[in-house]
Amino acid sequence: MDKKLQTISLNKVPNHIAVIMDGNGRWAKKQGMNRVFGHRNAMTAIRDSVDGASEIGTKFITMYAFSTENWNRPKFEVDALMHLLVTTLNKELPEFQRKNVKVNAIGNISSLPSKAQKTLQKVIDQTKNNTKITLSFALSYGSREEIVNAIKNISKKVVNTQLDIENIDEKTINNHLYTFNLPDVDLMIRTSGEQRISNFLLWQMAYAELYFTEMLWPDFRKENFFDAIIEYQNRERRFGKTSEQITSNE
């Protein structure tokens, strides 16, 4: 058993972990290669993170794979990323099945190339009955766009008298987000030293603990993942309450 895993309290693990996988381009540059080389070497970090999450009992992990803003990158890089998505999903499907991983996707999936959409849907369909952990890929995802779309859809229901405006609450909004079937995020991990959340799960991370590391994503391993969990468990999550209130409820 991993020594760091032994120090983790399995009764206090985050239920939903979000990950901003940053630093692929910089990692590739250090190797004297183009950015795509970095993306191709990111899968080990994904596997290690999902394995680590499964080992501690986390039920949901969401990876920021491709943002709405990423469409503005050079065409060759976008095309390479879409091709990599297809080949990686096909290659990893047997492992998802073996490890009981349910695959999910959030974002404007209809904007992806048709081959990517079909492959993604195939993997989602074939893993839908897996129960160990839900791995969500955020693809063509932007949180502001997600919230705007939710407001539009809620507004249509109000106009069509399907929904009373006085009955709109947080649950209503949650049910109209891409993440309607996911819980709120407990812990967000971002690699590469950048300390921002970059339009990722803004609503869902309202009370998430944020963990930033200088490590570039392709170098991130299970032991680094466990470091984030240990840091998370050393923090006090108050949700607006005082320390005394939290202590008295334990």
In a domain? residue 89: yes
Residues above pLDDT 90, as percent of the chain: 90
Q: What residues make up the domain containing 41?
A: 13-142+183-237
Q: Is 24 annotated as a binding-site member?
A: yes
Q: What is the arithmetic mean of pLDDT over 145-152?
A: 98
Q: What pLDDT, in 10s, does the model give residues 189-201?
A: 999 999 999 999 9
Q: What is the arithmetic mean of pLDDT over 39-58?
A: 96
In a domain? residue 154: no
Give the number of residues written for the chain.
250
In a domain? residue 150: no
Number of domains in the chain: 1
Neighbours of 6 (CB within 10 A): 8
In a domain? residue 170: no
> How is 172-210 classified by DSSP, letter by letter?
HHHTTSTTTTSPPPSEEEE-TT--S-TTSSTTTTTT-EE
In a domain? residue 40: yes
Q: Is 198 annotated as a binding-site member?
A: yes
Count Cβ atoms within 10 A of the Cβ of residue 116 and give its class: 0-12 exposed, 13-18 middle, 19 or more buried: buried
Q: What pLDDT, in 10s, does the model give residues 99-127?
A: 999 999 999 999 999 999 999 999 999 99
Which of 111-115, 159-163, 219-223, 238-242 shows the lowest per-residue confidence on average (mean pLDDT)?
238-242
The pLDDT score that the predictor gives to residue 245 is 55
- Give the confidence band of 134 by pLDDT, cuts at 50, 70, 90: very high
pTM: 0.93
Output the domain CATH number for residue 231: 3.40.1180.10
- Give the span between the Cα atoms of 90 and 74, in whole angstroms: 25
Which H/E stretch holds residue 105? strand 101-106
- CA–chain centroid gap for 232, Å, is 17
* pLDDT at residue 33 greater than cutoff 60: yes
Spell 62-77 as b/e; 16+ CB within 10 A means b: bbbbbbbebeeeeeee
Instruction: List Cα–Cα distances, 147 to 117, 142, 180, 205, 224, in angstroms.
Output: 22, 9, 12, 13, 32
- Start-to-end Cα distance in the chain: 29
Q: Is 174 annotated as a binding-site member?
A: no
Q: Is 73 annotated as a binding-site member?
A: yes
The pLDDT score that the predictor gives to residue 198 is 97
In a domain? residue 155: no
Neighbours of 172 (CB within 10 A): 13
* pLDDT at residue 237 greater than cutoff 80: no
In a domain? residue 152: no
More confident residue, 163 or 237: 163
Q: Is 25 annotated as a binding-site member?
A: yes
Residues with catalytic function: 22, 70
The pLDDT score that the predictor gives to residue 250 is 57
- Give the span between the Cα atoms of 20 and 35, in whole angstroms: 17
Q: Is 67 annotated as a binding-site member?
A: yes
Six-digit token pair at 186?
């407990």
